Structure 1
Amino acid sequence: MELKEIIQNYFKEIDWNIEPKQLYTPISYALESGGKRLRPMLTLMATKLFGGDINKAMPAAVALEIFHNFTLLHDDIMDRADMRRNRPTVHVKWDDNTAILSGDAMLIKAYQYLSKTETDKKEEILDLFTTTALQVCEGQQYDANFETRTDVTIEEYYHMIYLKTAVLLACALKMGAILGGASKEDANNIYEFGINIGIAFQLRDDYLDCYGDESTFGKKIGGDIMCGKRTFLLIQTLKNCGVSQRLTITQLLDNNSIHEREKVSTIIDIYNQLDMPKRCNEAINHYYKLSLESLDKINKSEEEKAPFVSLAKELMGRND
């Protein structure tokens, strides 16, 4: 049985049909939409790579997925996002208060599952998880702070996505490595693989927000532009554009009365004029290559590491 199928079956067996339903039904709704199940998959893959028991690692893998989905519930409120995975977001289907409280319960449930993990390294994985969870919150705050600034540097952006996206993928891998019995060096190398593929993954997400297919992307195209998010594309455009282009962008971002489609299409046109899609893809490829270099350092055979290469290619939409 494939790891993803094992994970899906485990989630199907979790009973959320408990009282009060107003708290638990939104949790079930958020988790049943599936998504890639990327974080639990990485945990189990890393556990397996280092010879551990994936069944014993499952509670930790589930904890990471519940935590990730908790962050999405709250992110969607902050971003006023109305779609997630081609379905209404929890705060739209119910309301903000429901999404906040159900999200809070998910965070507690994540810790509950993590505490069920059978390992003599429990303190280590709890410390890793807690540090990571706080970093994700820091990244989200930086992301929110940047929305009112036009002087965000690319270095600040990379630090933000390191915290908001990359550390959780890296945590999933390192946690699996620890549970699998990896050496400290290999656990750190697989963490670095996660950081680099996580940064590439977020850069690709930025790219797809403007250039993706809405039906496969699962979110509204141009959502980042509508929220005023400082993405790679916007930051590099503001750095490299002319005076008139900068004025157009700032006026559009500051004006909420302009129709969504006009705002998004005008800003994307400026991205295209400055060759930003190419620049973004170059940055994606840079971090993708760094991730493979980190993977090379792990003391396992190429055959054993092949599933990680395949997954990295899949995440980047590569077929080379």
Structure 2
Amino acid sequence: MIQPASLLEKLQTEFDRHSYGDAPVELYEPISYIMSLGGKRFRPLLTLLAASIFDTDIDKAIKPAMAVEVFHNFTLMHDDIMDRAPLRRGMPTVHEKWDANTAILSGDVMLIRAYDLLLDIPKEQLRSVLARFNRTAAEVCEGQQLDMNFEKRWDVTEAEYIGMIRLKTSVLLGFALELGGIIAGADDETVQLLYSAGENMGIGFQLKDDLLDVYGDPAKFGKQVGGDIIANKKTFLLIEALSKANGDLKTELDRWISLDTFDNAEKVAAVTGIYDALGIRAFTEHKINEYFSRGIASLQQLRSDSVQKDVLLQFVDQLVAREK
């Protein structure tokens, strides 16, 4: 039985020895920096766990799994610039530690290096994988653009928001799982089940991220708790609050949203109080469980007697219960 801990150790060893480039140092040092911050690494782990269900030789999936993580961190580096985020995993973001131009260019190289890592895939599978990766990469960009579009709108619906996070976040989880299945030689139906599982879990994951931004423990979350509230970011919680608030609660919420100057802590406490009064936390938790349940149902349909299927399901359970 191959456990996630051993796969994570194997991944970390490969990341530690991997070189993204040497000179100019100003281009490559930010890449080493963001990759050294670690993160949960659950996307490449999902690739390896999916592959392990259908093939005991998971070494051939290592570099493709790394490609998923490098691409993910490329999107984070650029997203942090657009969001003006000060922290990533509890440390200064790349554009804060260096500058925005450096973060843009280093991120561009990270995308190229992700393609380099995918070239390790056997040629009979490479075309299919690259086509799926290109689709995913374009969808992630579409999702980010929608997210930016929503910044200028106050009539964003729940359905629109779910559609945006499906593109921005969950399609990459779908790709991570289907990639493992493709590399291990799974059939098309199985690969589609893996993708569907990742897509639904990805929506649940982003909703959980929205929830933790408000209700998470700062010591565990690794980002600025309440940052979305301070920035008036259209999260699932805010969208639901805007649709449900009326009377004094609506007046109070609108007032905090409209203020240009305010005390950050006071605004976070006030808006969180409005969420509490509207039952937004419980409603969001229900939605999170709904999407994770859909993802788990797809995994349970996988036709495999491998104990690795249970290992993957146990790992997903840990993701559902995460606090950071």
On whether the aligned pair clears a TM of 0.5, the verdict is yes
Q: Is the 8 A contact 1:26 1:102 kept in 2?
A: yes
Partner residue, 1:261: 265
CA distance in 2, matches of 1:257, 1:192: 43
After superposing the two structures, state which structure 1 stretch, 145-154 or 168-177, moved more: 145-154
1:280-295 counterparts in 2 under 5 A? 280-295=284-299
Q: C-alpha offsets along residues 63-82 of structure 1, whole Å, 9 cap, x if unaligned?
A: 11111000000110111100
Pair 1:74–1:137, CA change in 2 (3 A): same
User: If the length of structure 2 is used for normalisation, what is the TM-score?
Assistant: 0.95
Q: Deviation at 1:52?
A: 5.7
Partner residue, 1:144: 148
Q: Classify the secondary structure of the residue corresponding to 1:120.
A: helix
Q: Is the 8 A contact 1:16 1:25 kept in 2?
A: no
Q: C-alpha offsets along residues 120-163 of structure 1, whole Å, 9 cap, x if unaligned?
A: 11000000100000000111111111122111100001101110
CA distance in 1, matches of 2:34, 2:294: 33
Which of 5, 9, 20 in structure 1 is aligned with 2:9? 5
Q: Deviation at 1:302?
A: 7.1
After superposing the two structures, state which structure 1 stretch, 82-91 or 310-319, moved more: 310-319
Q: Which amino acid in structure 2 is aligned with residue 317 of structure 1?
A: A
1:183-202 counterparts in 2 under 5 A? 183-202=187-206
The structure showing larger relative contact order (alpha-carbon pairs under 8 Å, at least 6 residues apart) is 2
Percent identity, aligned pairs only? Answer: 45
CA distance in 2, matches of 1:41, 1:267: 36
CA distance in 2, matches of 1:7, 1:318: 21
Q: Is the 8 A contact 2:54 2:306 kept in 1?
A: no
Which of 100, 103, 113 in structure 2 is aligned with 1:96? 100
Which of 87, 106, 120 in structure 2 is aligned with 1:116? 120
Q: Which amino acid in structure 2 is aligned with residue 146 of structure 1?
A: F
Q: Classify the secondary structure of the residue corresponding to 2:110.
A: helix
Partner residue, 1:85: 89
After superposing the two structures, state which structure 1 stretch, 174-183 or 40-49, moved more: 40-49
After superposing the two structures, state which structure 1 stretch, 295-304 or 34-43, moved more: 295-304
1:225-304 counterparts in 2 under 5 A? 225-301=229-305, 303-304=307-308
Partner residue, 2:158: 154
CA distance in 2, matches of 1:318, 1:80: 25
Q: Does 1:42 align with 2:46?
A: yes
Which of 74, 77, 83 in structure 1 is aligned with 2:78? 74
CA distance in 1, matches of 2:289, 2:98: 40
Partner residue, 1:224: 228
CA distance in 1, matches of 2:85, 2:158: 25
Q: Deviation at 1:188?
A: 0.4
Partner residue, 2:208: 204
After superposing on structure 2, the runs of 4+ consecutive aligned residues of structure 1 that deviate more than 4 Å are none
Q: C-alpha offsets along residues 227-286 of structure 1, whole Å, 9 cap, x if unaligned?
A: 222111111111111143233223322323112111111111100001111111111111
CA distance in 2, matches of 1:164, 1:226: 21
Q: Which amino acid in structure 2 is aligned with residue 192 of structure 1?
A: S
Cα RMSD after superposing both structures: 1.6
CA distance in 1, matches of 2:305, 2:276: 42
Partner residue, 1:57: 61
User: If the length of structure 1 is used for normalisation, what is the TM-score?
Assistant: 0.96
CA distance in 2, matches of 1:105, 1:303: 38
Q: Deviation at 1:17?
A: 6.5
CA distance in 1, matches of 2:56, 2:139: 27
- Number of matched pairs: 319
Q: Classify the secondary structure of the residue corresponding to 2:124.
A: coil
Q: Is the 8 A contact 1:252 1:263 kept in 2?
A: yes
CA distance in 2, matches of 1:180, 1:52: 9
Q: Does 1:173 align with 2:177?
A: yes
Q: Classify the secondary structure of the residue corresponding to 2:39.
A: coil
